[in-house]
Amino acid sequence: MEKIKFACYGSSGMKPWDGTILPLKLTAPYEVEVTARGSTFHLIVGHHQYGDYICIPNWDVGTQLASLTDRFWNYERLTGYTELKSVDAYSVACALVALSKIIE
């Protein structure tokens, strides 16, 4: 599968940056590899009885998500992990928005 480019942005004052999504599995649970600003994330995204979730095994992260398009809420959940810097959490949150467009 081909890599898909997407735009990342953070809080005001931050310059936007580019990211890429490499689809690995586009059936639930979804698996993609995201690269942005020198970091790589293996995302496993799925749905369970009470909502959506994300696991990032190579960063020891797993948490509930709002809808994939809710960048702010998902960013807030991801910044609760010390493993993820703010810019990395923004990259993943923006990747989730881009993923939502791919899987619809």
Give DSSP secondary structure letters for the chain: ---EEEEE--STTPPPEEEEEEEEE-SSSEEEEEEETTEEEEEEEEEETTEEEEEEGGGTEEEEES-TT-HHHHHHHHTTSTTS-HHHHHHHHHHHHHHHHHH-
- pLDDT attached to residue 72: 95
Low-confidence ranges of the chain (pLDDT < 50): none
- pLDDT attached to residue 45: 98
pTM for the whole thing?
A: 0.94
- pLDDT attached to residue 13: 84
Q: Which domain holds residue 62?
A: 4-103
Write down how long the chain is.
104
- pLDDT attached to residue 11: 86
How many domains are there within the chain?
1
- pLDDT attached to residue 48: 93
- pLDDT attached to residue 80: 86
- pLDDT attached to residue 34: 98
- pLDDT attached to residue 83: 77
